[in-house]
Structure formats: C-alpha cells, structure tokens
Amino acid sequence: MYNFKLFIYLCFSFFICSCNNTVKEQDKEIDKPIESNNKENELTKKIEDIYYNVPSPMQIAVLLKRAGVAYNYELPLNPSKVNEYFDREEKAVLLGVYGADLNYSVVSRKNQETLLYFKSVNLLGEQIGLSNVFNDELKNRVTDNLDNNDSMQVIISDAFWNAESSLKEDARINISALIVAGGWIEGLYLSSELSKLTPENEKIKMLIAEQKYSITNLISLLDSYDISDYTKEILINPIKNLEPLFNKIKEEFPSNNVSSEDTEIPIIGTNIVLSYSDEILDSISFAIAQIREEIIH
C-alpha cells in the first residue's frame, strides 16, 4: 500500500513537471501542402498541439503610431485606478491593461504619461509578487532613459519579458496569461476608440480586423490554464463571445502575389486581404469597450 501511494505521488509529480505550454513532440510529419479535406482533422490536431502567442502591446503601440494617429490623453486608463480594490487575478489583468497604456505612451514619446503609467505598472507588479522585476532598479532605468525612446522600448519590453519568465518559473502561468489578456484588450480598445475618432483612417481599421488572428490564439492560451470561475465570467467568456464577430471578417486571396525581387529582405507568406464592414468593426468596438468596463469595474 505504501509503495502504491508513493507510485501515485510520483506519477502526479512527473505529470506536473511535464505540463509546459510549449509542446514537445516526436516529429514524424512530412512537409507537404495540405491538399485534401480528409487531412483537415489531422491538421486541426496538429494546430492544437502548438503554443499560441499573442502580439505584445509594444507591437500594437508601434502599429498604432505607424497608422499616423495622434496620442489621445483621454483613452488610457486613469493611473489612479490602481489604488482601488482588485483581487489577484484582476490585478494581473489590470497590469496588462496598464502595460499597454505604458507602451502607448512610450512609443508616443509622452514622458509625463510614461512615468504615471510606469508607476501604476510597478505598483501592480509588486502587489502580484513580481518585485524581482518591478522594483527601484527598473524605476531608475526608466527615469534615466526617459528621453531615449529606443532604450525605453527595450527596457519596457524586457520588463514584461522578465515578468512572464518569472511567473513561469514560479508555476504561475495563469497569471501570465491574464496579463497577456489585459494587454490585448487594452490594445484593441485603444485601436477601436482611435478609429472612432479618425474614421477615415483605414490603417487602424485594418489593425482592428487583424486581431481576428490574435483572438484565436488568446482564447487557446486562456483555456490552457486554471483560472477562477469569476474571471472566466467577466473576462474569458466575453472574449469568447467576441470571436464570432471576428469570424465575420473574411479572408480573400488575390492571385497577384507579392514579389520579393526588389527588396533586400525576403517577403514570405500568402497575400491575404481581409474583408469587413464598418458595422462589424463597430460591433467589435462596442463589445471590447464593455469587456474593458467590466474588468476595470
């Protein structure tokens, strides 16, 4: 009986050890295009077996800037909101939200706002047990490099990278997934609100539509981890309800493929054009604003 119990414990322990979000597998596949429908099930299974990444808030902030819209002071979350009561999971989501706002201010070179959002990020980071990342040392680096935009982008990206690493090492990957979710929500919220203010800007509309790809990855990520029923109710289920709206955005494949002959750097992949209406984007905008409102109370 003693040995049996020990065996069960060992099995459980090694099961825990083997839970890693990056799937390892023995590779037996052949590199061939998928040609027939009867291979779709196999394809689906394979795609389920991979790790899904969500674009970082820094990438979204850079794309917003490239879209040519001016910084809007009213859109990011009030930095003082951090002082209200939130439970641990909500704080993780909020850290993601403020992280996106911080990236938005860094990329837009708004130093005063950068300091305010950094303060909120640092406080939340400490509160959820990330004081090894969000601490005085980081604060000093931010203060010293405030005028150096390139360095700031690297410092902030590094900080969130270290935070995610630290959470994974501490087996708190669910918290990491919630930070990612918060960042994604705020990125989409900023894009949607900026699109409302500049309806003629097609680049922002495209950026919103392109989140069609990310939402699938985000849902897969959130479904992988143990998250409370309350957070599922206020965050994950509403995100899942958003997916059918993104599914209305259709992919078209024009025959004129992009040539890479004139460029020094290779261009890879398929030429895809997303087809959507303003009504679909309005529905997404309305829904994401509701989700954001719920998570910030």
Partner 1 sequence: MKHIIYLATFLFSLFISNVDYSQCRGYSKNECLPKLEKYIHTGQLNNVKLSAGEKSEFMLTFYAGQEYKIIVCAEDVLDNIIFKIRDSKRRLLYDNLGDGSLSFSFKVASTQQLIISLKVPESDLEDLESVEGCVSAIIGFKF
Which residues in this chain contact partner 1 in the complex, by CB under 8 A?
Answer: 2, 5-6, 9-10, 12-14, 16-17, 20, 22-27, 31, 33-34, 43, 46-47, 49-56, 58-59, 62-63, 66, 153-154, 157-158, 160-161, 164-165, 168-171, 206, 210, 213-214, 217, 257-258, 263, 265-274
Cβ 267 to partner 1 shortest distance, Å: 5
Q: Pick the closer one to partner 1 by CB: 18 or 85.
A: 18
Cβ 297 to partner 1 shortest distance, Å: 27
Cβ 92 to partner 1 shortest distance, Å: 16
- Sequence-distant (≥ 6) Cβ neighbours of residue 290 within 8 angstroms: 238
Q: How far apart are CA 240 and CA 158, in angstroms?
A: 30
* CA atoms lying within 13 Å on the CB side of residue 184: 26
Q: Pick the closer one to partner 1 by CB: 18 or 74.
A: 18
Q: How far apart are CA 164 and CA 265, in angstroms?
A: 31
Any idea which residue has 């890879």 for tokens? 268
Cβ 255 to partner 1 shortest distance, Å: 13
Tokens of 88: 């641990």
Q: Pick the closer one to partner 1 by CB: 31 or 226.
A: 31
Q: Which helix (H) or strand (E) holds 211?
A: helix 202-223
Q: Pick the closer one to partner 1 by CB: 118 or 160.
A: 160
Q: Pick the closer one to partner 1 by CB: 52 or 71.
A: 52
Cβ 6 to partner 1 shortest distance, Å: 7
Cβ 13 to partner 1 shortest distance, Å: 4
Three-state DSSP at 234 gives helix
Q: Pick the closer one to partner 1 by CB: 169 or 278.
A: 169
CB 122 within 8 A of CB 95: no
Cβ 148 to partner 1 shortest distance, Å: 13
Q: Pick the closer one to partner 1 by CB: 208 or 235.
A: 208
CB 173 within 8 A of CB 225: yes
Q: Which residues pair with 274 in a beta bridge?
A: 251
Tokens of 297: 């109370």
Longest pairwise C-alpha distance within the chain: 73
Q: How far apart are CA 118 and CA 215, in angstroms?
A: 26
Q: How far apart are CA 237 and CA 247, in angstroms?
A: 16
